Structures are given as structure tokens and as C-alpha cells.
Structure 1
Amino acid sequence: MAKPYKGKKQKGRASKNKAEEVEKLKAELKRKLLLLLSSPMTPEFFKDEFKDYVNDIEEGQWEILNKKKIM
């Protein structure tokens, strides 16, 4: 019995789109954290935490953020 034709597979396209989506999410998260840092309504305790998160984003330490349940 012959196998049905499934068409030509695309290579690399999905991973490129996924990488672009991840970069957009990183930028959005950083923007929101910086917005919270600049808000006068944010308590000082949270400002310290948010500064740590922004530093982690800039250094590319996503595993740490995943453990902190931010992402």
C-alpha cells in the first residue's frame, strides 16, 4: 500500500517565527516592568524585585525568570 503524499515540509520557518515571537514578548515584558518601576503607586519592595527582573532580562537569564514564575 502506498503512503499518501503529505506535501513538502518547510524547514526553519516555524523556528524563525517562534524566535521573533519570543523577542517581541521579551521586549513587551521589559517595557511593562519599566513602566511599573516608573509608577509612583508601586511599593518599594516591588520596585526592587522588578529591577532584578529587568536585569535578568537584559542578561538573558530566562531560566531564572521561569523559576520565579514570571514567564
Structure 2
Amino acid sequence: MAIITLPAAGAARTRPAALRRLLAAAAAWYAERRTIAALARLDAHLLRDIGLAERVETRAVRRMLRTD
């Protein structure tokens, strides 16, 4: 005879929240990568105009995205 175990009552409620957090983190990572790629295509003069050094740093992009 097989024994079937059911998940705990609270486990079903935490899964959607964990999935939402995972999807939000993935979306933030994707936005960061997309922003870095767009900034990497700009020339040094345009980067200076927006307040960035010639070399785009990941830290600067993260700061910009978190303040919005």
C-alpha cells in the first residue's frame, strides 16, 4: 500500500510569493543587462553628458535603476 503525503497547509500560500520574488529578481537582472548593453553602445562624450565615466560600470547602472 502506498502512502500519499500532502504538502503542509502553509506551503501552498508561500509558493506564489516565492515565485513572484524569483520573477521580479529575473526581471531586474534582465533590465540591468539590457541597460548595460545600451550604455556600452554610447560614445564617451554621451556617457560624460549623463554623468558616467567612459567605462560603464555595473555599480553605476544598479544605482540608477534602484533610484527609479
Contact kept, 8 Å, 1:34 with 1:54, in 2: the verdict is yes
- Larger relative contact order (CA 8 Å, sep ≥ 6): 2
Match of 2:32 among 19, 27, 30: 30
3-state SS of the aligned residue for 1:12? helix
Q: TM-score, normalised by structure 2?
A: 0.53
Greater Rg over alpha carbons, structure? 2
- Moved segments of 4+, more than 4 Å: 50-53
Identity %: 8
1:55 to partner: Cα distance: 3.4
RMSD: 3.4
Equivalent in the alignment of 1:56: 63
Contact kept, 8 Å, 2:32 with 2:61, in 1: the verdict is yes
Equivalent in the alignment of 2:22: 20
Equivalent in the alignment of 1:5: none
**Equivalences, count:** 53
| Equivalent-residue separation in structure 2 for 1:35 and 1:25 (angstroms) | 15
| Equivalent-residue separation in structure 1 for 2:51 and 2:33 (angstroms) | 14
